Structure 1
Amino acid sequence: MDNLEGLIIARRLRVPVGAPAESGPGWGEVAARQLDAALLSVGFTCSPALLERLATLPGESVVDLGVRVLAAVRTLVGDHVRHNAYFIDFPANVPDTLEFWAGLLREAMLDPVAAAEVQGPALNLLALPRYGRYQHSYADLLAAHAELIPLAGDRVTVLDLGGSLESEARELYFSLAGSQTPLAAEDLAALRTLAAYCADRPEDIPVRENRAVVNEVRLAAGLPLLVDTVTDVLRLACGCSGGDVTLATPTRLRSFRRAERRALLQALDAVASPAKLGDVTRHREQWKRLGERLHPHEYPQFPRAGHVFEVARGVRRAPSLDGRVEAALASGRTGEAVELLRAAPGALLRRLDHLLRTGSDASAVLEVAEQAAAGASGRVLLSLREHLQNRLAPAAGRVFTNRYGRAWTSPDFRAPLEEKVLSRALAMLDEEITRRLPDPGELIVDPEVLDVALPLSGKAVAPGLGMLPRGSVTAVEGDLLRFFVHWRQAQRRTDYDLSALMLDAAYGNATHISWTNYANDFASYSGDLTEASEGASEFIDIDLAAATQPIIVPQVHIYAGERFDEAAEAFFGYMTRDPAQEGMPFEPRTVRMKSDLRGSGRVTLPLVFLRGEDGGWRVKWVHLYLKGHPAFNQVEGNRLTTSALVRSIVERDYLRVRHLAGLLRAKASQTGHTTYIGLRPPATLPPDARVFTPATLHELIPA
């Protein structure tokens, strides 16, 4: 139950509180004020409504709730661990890189045992006795730093009053289950928890991975399954086996109980029409393994389910739609491909660029696309809109990103599309998107949210504090910027390295800050740590006013040891401060963004900081991972790759809230209810207002 409460606090910034109760004189109010003071120390505060409700509860209940709330928000901001620094005075007194290494080497040479370890067959600087491990305790660090001076620019995140735990869980469950966009792995895990807790069934679960998670709970409870394709059954089987419902990686399927086998085969038999058998070949090997677990020959009453496994084994032929379309396109029969795709509107629109470039009659292709638009999902329409608006001008390069955030670039060799064709396609998409949007009534849009990108996929974005979709742009507040990474190894020695690449306006003239270059005129590094059995933190400080290069790219490299998703814990974030503030290297009140690190890449690029023509700094969310090397990754080794990726992301025109707000205004009636879109809701909204913040922005995507 506590996990569910913490989930709601972290995802919605609302505290589930029960009905008001009588309390002793003043005791509940005193405890509420004490909780609010404790929350302020980590950059949070209670809304007036939350304080008022807490004051009605018994003081003991407020204290118990406060302990859980504090634990949730401290984890959210990254304050649940002690952040030490290798250089105790950081950011002051950071030594010159060469002097630092020379000093350590001199000390080692004076010790015969250490000298033998360092020299070996080759000089090993990382084996120096005092290198890579804290040389002082956290208490020593605390004593060496002044207390943070609170300033008006410090982050204060408001925690709102929530309803009962049951109502809050149900609302979050319906929001995640009904999302029009794929969820991050953490949100899928949250959906699984909520589905087991909430008995209600959402009316619509459009994303099939979300449907598979809900079906896991329904299968365990003996309820009818929500499937309409054969692949839905395979996803469910993988999810029940603790595997990947996205089917991106093979799953070791478990043995199923007889009742489960019957339910899966019955659901499969209901949807295995000849037209849908073509989907089987995409996951042929997984279907073979599932057949070994389900024993379809024991259930002759489900003959169509048996056809699925015959296709998987090659006994029955069932060509897929994609295969027939590819064959037609390869032979230059674009018209035939378009006719085949009429039955699959989403697939047709995803291929529209290719069809327009290869077809002889773009007008005819667009006519079919206009008919298909009515049958495609809102997410497909918005994704195509974003794609086509980037075809209006030549791109420096194409960037490709998979579901794990792994990215790569390539030159853009595509033939350009005619401007009148693009204009017609964009107008058609806007018209259909507008038709599906609800009447917002009185629409209020916070200007700060206009440059936030629409969340067309959330898979690569791990939930956290201040997280925004890839391509979002927000202003940077404060003159001092500080990145931080913290990790704790699970089983073997793990060395992560925080680095920053600095580029000029042409994405060249690269310089860097890392364990091989501790400082320059405007940046400094807190020191390298090479193991983290009890956790390790690294920091980079940037003086934005003195920065000589307008593009700053923080990075985390795996030098040795466990991947991000193997470590016991790994997260990245950034803080901003005023020059008058000192304080500890990590101060939760100054944290603007914090998120877990995960994924199979060995290098991560979370953000890029950009100086505008007006001299102000902005941050653009990137959420990318690079494959990297199995070990010894360094910023010097991926400068060209990083520069190309960053340029592709920075110069890409993402579809933002600004565009959708413009379409909503065209439908606004200015009467009845109120719709608010912003980074955080103001306290002055009507009680029945519909509010969209980054946590619920996916609910804006039309069905």
Structure 2
Amino acid sequence: MNNTIYLRRASKLMIEPSEGLQQQLPKKVLATALKNIESLGFTFSNELMQAMRKLPKEQFEALYQQLVKDLKVMVGAHVEYKPMYAGFPQQVMGEDEAELYLNAVFHYLTHLTLDDFDPSAATTGVRSPLLEQRKLKVIDLGSKQAFLKLIRQLVEAKGSISDTDKKDIKCVLKHVDPSDVEIILPPEIPFKENVGFVVAVLLKYELASMERIGSYFKTASDVLRLAVSWSEGDVSLATASPFRKFKRRERRLLLSLLEQCCSITEDMLRYKDRWIRLGEILHPSEYKLRFPRSQEAFDILRNDKPFTTFNGSVELAFQYRNVWSLIDLLSQRPGEFARKLDHLLRITEDEAYVLLAFGEVAAQVSTPVLLQVRQHFAQRNDSQELRVFFPKGNVAKAFGIPNKLPEINEAVCQEVVQLCEQALITRFADLPVLGKTYIDERLQHYLVPFSQRSASKALRTIVRGSRIPMGEGDTIRFFSWWKEGEVDGVPTGRVDIDLSAVMYDENWNYVEHISYTNLRSVKYKAVHSGDIVTAPYGASEFIDLHMPSIVNYGGRYVVTTLHSFTSHPYCNLPECFAGWMMRKKPGSGEIYEPSTVENKVDLTADTQIAIPVILDLVERTMIWTDLALTRYPDYNNVEGNQKGIVLMGKAMTTLRKPDLYDLFMLHAKARGQLVDTKEQADTIYAVDEGMTPYDIEQIMAEYLA
């Protein structure tokens, strides 16, 4: 199981050397294995090949069988693809319009499965072999220590982690050797959500003690998150979750953790109703002599006794524009000062005093917040149509609102930028020396991973809003696959997921769409494989887009969408995923060729419309979105969601967030010496070498310190 996680996260395998003298694995066996995984788009590094050759044949075969199984899942090759038109794309491009219409009517009226559907035009002839040379993804040799360090980096991330990350941590801790727990657990878990989740897992598998976990809890909200996570609820606290019944010893543990925290009453008032419900389960009055501070706090909450809070004082000061009181209050909590700095500067003419006060506490603000404040003020007065927000919670959503912020003096904005940079460089200077450092300018297109809470599981995960160069070829082929059946014993019934692509010009004016309502374009080369309306054994749809012909017609942006026509949330399906391949010649090879898969994304959000990526055909980049839209009540196809899609498209293509180039540049200024080429460098930050944008675990753990 650990190798499955290691392979997916780092493209590495751990090889346990066999004891005693063993005959080397025959070269023919290894060569055959390499040839087989090459068809999936992968190969071994030389170091891994040498380690493989030292394995007994039986051990190698067991490792290889699991490897192939894992690789197939990673690229989506573990299922069968049978589109409605088996001769896609030529069959749809050359089919008579009337025939397409009659096929569709027959298909929809009968709701037959693919095995039943056999229109007369479904003969395909012989496909030519795939002659395109693909750049294979290299699987390298890893180690147990490096794997445990990777899991530790997830635990000590400075931002939220995804559901996939949590499942991996949970799986590793479930099977870990008790002696390795200390390697995985850092002295501090910086991100509060991770504290609740990790400690709940430790408690579940009896790996926790008060001595081991006590230092992780600093606030009452930390304890609340533990109670929520222990109850399988939303540890982000974005939504209220029911609590399970805790055993007596579990109640004592929660109350003892709460008792040691500071300012518990004020913090508990932030989630007053939830604490009251939790108190009904914990029965703090039974332990009032042992935990008097906790009992007093619960008494204040339950009986609505007066209590002055910090946030209440800040709100009152903002209401009366009392800048001096705000400076005094916010200086006590530097993180809040940073978050409210823009608001404070907008209501005062004494900007110099505000900046002086912020400069005195900037060193106490967390790195993620400083980076975001720096970016905000660096572009504060730039003309921008929308402001984009990613709400806290588990669903991959974004909101775009009109940008109506009044301007702030540019000199003031630049002063804030300088204060943030100075604090960051001073902080980074205490980290290990980098030596000669090379930073790839292409990293400007990749964003810093502050929050991965709702990131989907993917072949290669990247931060939302990042721009990825397209692979070689003029045609991009999108694919989707889903299955109906049972989830937690409940039948799904008929499931219909529609794959669509909407084209827009450079100003986001609608050009055309390709979907089940429009299988092919008469304006440029774009074609849909046909609408599958039920999937008892799994179903797939494809779309081919010939990019030069779309650009020549005036198209620029393509928004790919998946709509649940039958209103099933993706989280309630046995399996659903989408991805894309790059093709030079659409008609060559099989419809689905694993080696050409650029990426594959699992769709598991509690939503019915997904937007995996947006294409910028002029710049030949893919904007990683991994987002969701709420279904419009009167529409269930792509045409009915134009307003929402355009808003989302504009928001994501104009997104302005801190990028990895700036982050690594700050580190280089603090603890390295910049050089012009990789050959001169001791440390490399690049898109495809050294530290890359895909090393999210390490970036979140070590570069946002």
Q: Considering the TM-score relative to the shorter chain, is it more than 0.5?
A: yes
Q: Which amino acid aligns with 1:516?
A: T
2:273 is matched with which residue: 279, 285, 288? 285
Q: Shift in Å at residue 222 of structure 1?
A: 4.5
Q: Which amino acid aligns with 1:555?
A: T
Match of 1:465 in 2: 459
- Alignment of 1:199 onto 2:181: yes
Q: Shift in Å at residue 56 of structure 1?
A: 0.6
Contact residue 499 and residue 556 of structure 1 kept, 8 A: yes
Match of 1:702 in 2: 704
Q: How does 1:559-570 map to 2 (within 5 A)?
A: 559-570=565-576
| Alpha-carbon separation, structure 2, partners of 1:533 and 1:131 | 10
Contact residue 463 and residue 596 of structure 1 kept, 8 A: yes
Gaps of 5+ in 2: none
Contact residue 448 and residue 474 of structure 1 kept, 8 A: no
Change (3 A) 1:71 1:145: farther
Change (3 A) 1:11 1:693: same
Match of 2:479 in 1: 484
Change (3 A) 1:418 1:135: farther
Match of 2:162 in 1: 184
1:391 is matched with which residue: 380, 401, 411? 380
Match of 2:593 in 1: 587
Q: Shift in Å at residue 455 of structure 1?
A: 0.9
Q: How does 1:155-174 map to 2 (within 5 A)?
A: 155-164=135-144, 167-174=145-152
| Alpha-carbon separation, structure 1, partners of 2:157 and 2:604 | 22
Change (3 A) 1:580 1:266: closer
Contact residue 497 and residue 515 of structure 1 kept, 8 A: yes
Please report the RMSD computed on the Cα atoms of aligned residues, expressed in angstroms. 2.6
Paired residue secondary structure (1:458):
coil
Q: Deviations over 1:170-210 (max 9, x none)?
A: 21221101111211121122222334424112122111111
- Alignment of 1:435 onto 2:426: yes
Paired residue secondary structure (2:570):
coil
Q: Deviations over 1:120-161 (max 9, x none)?
A: xxxxxx741266755569xx9998562642423x24111110
Q: How does 1:225-374 map to 2 (within 5 A)?
A: 225=213, 226-271=216-261, 273=262, 275-300=263-288, 301-374=290-363
- Alignment of 1:668 onto 2:654: no
Q: Which amino acid aligns with 2:498?
A: D
| Alpha-carbon separation, structure 1, partners of 2:188 and 2:681 | 24
Q: Which amino acid aligns with 1:343?
A: Q
| Alpha-carbon separation, structure 1, partners of 2:624 and 2:167 | 24
2:404 is matched with which residue: 413, 434, 445? 413
Q: Which amino acid aligns with 1:379?
A: P
| Alpha-carbon separation, structure 2, partners of 1:648 and 1:658 | 22
Q: Deviations over 1:90-145 (max 9, x none)?
A: 11121679625642487x6xxxxxxxxxxxxxxxxx741266755569xx999856
Q: Shift in Å at residue 534 of structure 1?
A: 2.0
Q: Which amino acid aligns with 2:320?
A: S
Contact residue 345 and residue 376 of structure 1 kept, 8 A: yes
Change (3 A) 1:650 1:431: same
Change (3 A) 1:49 1:444: farther
| Alpha-carbon separation, structure 2, partners of 1:482 and 1:35 | 28
Contact residue 485 and residue 570 of structure 1 kept, 8 A: yes
Q: Shift in Å at residue 562 of structure 1?
A: 1.9
Q: Deviations over 1:508-549 (max 9, x none)?
A: 133211111111122111111122222221111100121130
| Alpha-carbon separation, structure 1, partners of 2:90 and 2:703 | 47
Q: Shift in Å at residue 623 of structure 1?
A: 2.3
Q: Which amino acid aligns with 1:187?
A: D
| Alpha-carbon separation, structure 2, partners of 1:595 and 1:674 | 34
Match of 1:456 in 2: 450
Change (3 A) 1:640 1:670: closer
Task: Give the number of aligned pairs.
Answer: 666
Change (3 A) 1:570 1:335: farther
| Alpha-carbon separation, structure 1, partners of 2:253 and 2:556 | 59
Paired residue secondary structure (1:182):
coil
Q: Shift in Å at residue 658 of structure 1?
A: 1.8
Contact residue 23 and residue 56 of structure 1 kept, 8 A: no
Contact residue 503 and residue 557 of structure 2 kept, 8 A: yes
Q: Which amino acid aligns with 1:538?
A: E
Change (3 A) 1:559 1:621: same
Contact residue 182 and residue 457 of structure 1 kept, 8 A: yes
Paired residue secondary structure (2:542):
strand
1:223 is matched with which residue: 209, 228, 245? 209
2:527 is matched with which residue: 524, 544, 548? 524
Match of 2:91 in 1: 93
Q: Which amino acid aligns with 1:592?
A: E
Q: How does 1:607-686 map to 2 (within 5 A)?
A: 607-612=613-618, 616-629=619-632, 632-666=635-669, 667-669=671-673, 674-681=682-689
Match of 1:117 in 2: none
Q: Shift in Å at residue 23 of structure 1?
A: 6.2
Q: Shift in Å at residue 73 of structure 1?
A: 1.8
Q: Shift in Å at residue 449 of structure 1?
A: 3.8
Q: How does 1:46-61 map to 2 (within 5 A)?
A: 46-61=44-59
Change (3 A) 1:251 1:625: same
Contact residue 397 and residue 648 of structure 1 kept, 8 A: yes
Contact residue 467 and residue 623 of structure 2 kept, 8 A: yes
- Alignment of 1:45 onto 2:43: yes
| Alpha-carbon separation, structure 1, partners of 2:454 and 2:207 | 31
| Alpha-carbon separation, structure 2, partners of 1:256 and 1:142 | 63
Change (3 A) 1:503 1:580: closer
Contact residue 5 and residue 168 of structure 2 kept, 8 A: yes
Q: Shift in Å at residue 265 of structure 1?
A: 0.8
Change (3 A) 1:155 1:323: farther
Q: Shift in Å at residue 450 of structure 1?
A: 4.1
Q: Shift in Å at residue 68 of structure 1?
A: 1.2
Contact residue 603 and residue 625 of structure 1 kept, 8 A: yes
Q: Which amino acid aligns with 1:290?
A: L
Q: Shift in Å at residue 413 of structure 1?
A: 1.4
Greater Cα shift, 311-320 or 328-337 = 311-320
Greater Cα shift, 326-335 or 291-300 = 326-335
Q: Which amino acid aligns with 1:659?
A: D
Q: Deviations over 1:392-431 (max 9, x none)?
A: 3121122222132212222111101211111111122122
| Alpha-carbon separation, structure 1, partners of 2:209 and 2:123 | 56
Q: Shift in Å at residue 471 of structure 1?
A: 1.7
Q: Which amino acid aligns with 1:191?
A: I
Contact residue 439 and residue 686 of structure 2 kept, 8 A: yes
| Alpha-carbon separation, structure 1, partners of 2:29 and 2:646 | 52
Q: Shift in Å at residue 378 of structure 1?
A: 0.7
Q: How does 1:131-170 map to 2 (within 5 A)?
A: 133=114, 135=116, 146=127, 148-152=129-133, 154-164=134-144, 167-170=145-148
Change (3 A) 1:29 1:236: farther
Q: Shift in Å at residue 691 of structure 1?
A: 7.3
| Alpha-carbon separation, structure 2, partners of 1:348 and 1:97 | 66
Change (3 A) 1:161 1:150: farther
- Alignment of 1:475 onto 2:474: no
| Alpha-carbon separation, structure 1, partners of 2:447 and 2:9 | 19
Q: Deviations over 1:669-692 (max 9, x none)?
A: 47999323234447xxxxxxx777
Change (3 A) 1:632 1:638: closer
Paired residue secondary structure (1:565):
helix
Q: Which amino acid aligns with 2:686?
A: G
1:540 is matched with which residue: 535, 540, 543? 543
